[in-house]
Amino acid sequence: MINTRQRYEDIEARSLAPYAMKSGESRGRQYPEAEQEFRTAFQRDRDRILHTTAFRRLEYKTQVFINYEGDYYRTRLTHTLEVAQIGRSLARALCANEDLIEAICLSHDLGHPPFGHSGEAILNKLMQGYGGFDHNKQSFRIVTKLEQRYQGWPGLNLTYEVREGIVKHETKYDVRDSEAEGFDTDKRGGIEAQIANMSDELAYNAHDLDDGLRSGLIEPEQLDDLAIWKMLKDSIGWDGRHFSEQIRHQIIRRLIGIEIDDVIRATGAKLDGLDLASPDDLQRLPYNVVTHSENLETMNRELQTFLYDCLYRHFRVVRMAVKAERFVTQLFETYIDEPNQLPPTVHAAIDHRGLQRGICDYIAGMTDRFALEEWQRLFDPFQRP
């Protein structure tokens, strides 16, 4: 037996919830294309995203710790893959479209510049008066304009639903106005976009805590007053003594499991109380349906505050953030002062997008490693240009 696109679409029609988006009901692509025989529209989108240059670059872009600080910390790529895994787990339980969720998850951080949120903040500051910089909007620009892989159109020509999921991506870490031409801003993201948003948040909490403990920037004793930490210790039967690598793995694994289970139960209970006949019905609700229970939401807020105070504001992380701001600022300013330092491909982009935006796009596409090497080439007199 062979699985064809039509068979996949039939399976979706039978197995997905009424509020889930079916690939056969997609609003389509900006530029018309013939459908493929053995992949659905959302499966093709996922595959196109995986093969982009922007996706490969995520391997060397900062999550919390810059790449050279250790081989075992999360990068923007491993974070993205973990978000996609959590998204698929939630999708299966909530009868949503796994392929659509995976495509949104894999694309949600394509626009992140080098050095994580510090790089984003300084680029936004440098671009004031020229449209600013936001990694979510940059992700959208990458898939619709900047990736040049097809002769017939710019970008990846993704389906409307994947593009909408990118546009309406929001978490507590990067809340923004969901605005883009051609999308109804009065409607919320669909169930798949909401699951992708929640998956991003769950991954941040669990994996940043994991990396903080692994690095020694967070000591287990610092967490003793947190309700969620007490619950985790009790759930694995750990008495708080002799913290080991295995205990850390157990705790993070248990944390992810608790978070996922809670979202499934809380979201399921909310959906059971609604009469949703279509994805459009869900998007017109005045609130998100993908949610935590009130109890775990309170615990998560406490954990997020702790991570901000004790990890993201740790002096070692702050020092690297300040360095990153210096690197990015000096790169931007020297390119502005003398654009002839830029390679020919960037000059072509400047001709179409303007000096500031062309330079911003060039820097945003850099990995941490390339940005540091470029800084050395430009400012170290003993480095060859």
What confidence tier does 384 reach under pLDDT thresholds 50, 70, 90?
confident
**What is residue 123's predicted lDDT score, i.e. its pLDDT?**
97
Residues 281, 283, 288, 290, CA torsion sign = positive
For the record, the structure tokens of 222 come out as 């610092």
The lowest-confidence range among 117-126, 248-257, 340-349, 376-385 is: 376-385
- For residue 174, is pLDDT > 70? no
- Classify 377 as helix, strand or coil: helix
Q: Distance between CA 338 and CA 330 in Å, rounded? A: 12
The class level of CATH for 5-10+39-316 reads mainly alpha
What confidence tier does 184 reach under pLDDT thresholds 50, 70, 90?
confident
**What is residue 304's predicted lDDT score, i.e. its pLDDT?**
95
3-state secondary structure 266-281: HHHHHHHCCCCCCHHH
Question: What are the φ and ψ backbone dihedral angles of 307, each rounded to 5 degrees?
Answer: -60, -40
Residue among 324, 329, 358 nearest 343 (CA)? 358
Task: Specify the amino acid at residue 350.
Answer: I
Q: Distance between CA 255 and CA 260 in Å, rounded? A: 9
- For residue 41, is pLDDT > 60? yes
Per-residue pLDDT of 306-351, as tens digits, reads: 999 999 889 988 888 898 899 999 999 999 999 999 999 999 999 9
The domain segmentation of the chain, as residue ranges, is: 5-10+39-316, 319-379
What confidence tier does 178 reach under pLDDT thresholds 50, 70, 90?
very low
- For residue 173, is pLDDT > 50? no
Q: Which residues contact 137 (CB under 8 A, 6 or more apart)?
A: 111, 180
Percent of the chain's residues with pLDDT above 90: 81
**What is residue 122's predicted lDDT score, i.e. its pLDDT?**
95
Instruction: Give strand pairing partners of 75.
Output: 62
**Largest interatomic CA distance in the chain:** 68
Task: Specify the amino acid at residue 320.
Answer: M
Q: Distance between CA 223 and CA 305 in Å, rounded? A: 12
- Classify 29 as helix, strand or coil: strand
The lowest-confidence range among 88-97, 232-241, 262-271 is: 232-241
Per-residue pLDDT of 285-305, as tens digits, reads: 999 999 999 999 999 999 999
Q: How large is the average pLDDT for residues 228-248?
A: 94
For the record, the structure tokens of 309 come out as 């105070």
Cβ proximity of 159 and 42 under 8 Å:
yes
Q: Distance between CA 365 and CA 57 in Å, rounded? A: 8
State the pTM of this model: 0.94
What confidence tier does 69 reach under pLDDT thresholds 50, 70, 90?
low
Question: What are the φ and ψ backbone dihedral angles of 239, each rounded to 5 degrees?
Answer: -90, 5
Percent of the chain's residues with pLDDT above 70: 94
- Classify 160 as helix, strand or coil: helix
- For residue 189, is pLDDT > 70? yes
Residues 269, 274, 276, 280, CA torsion sign = negative
Calculate the average pLDDT of the chain: 92
**What is residue 382's predicted lDDT score, i.e. its pLDDT?**
78
What confidence tier does 175 reach under pLDDT thresholds 50, 70, 90?
very low
Alpha helices in 108-145 (DSSP H): 116-126, 135-141
Cβ proximity of 108 and 83 under 8 Å:
yes
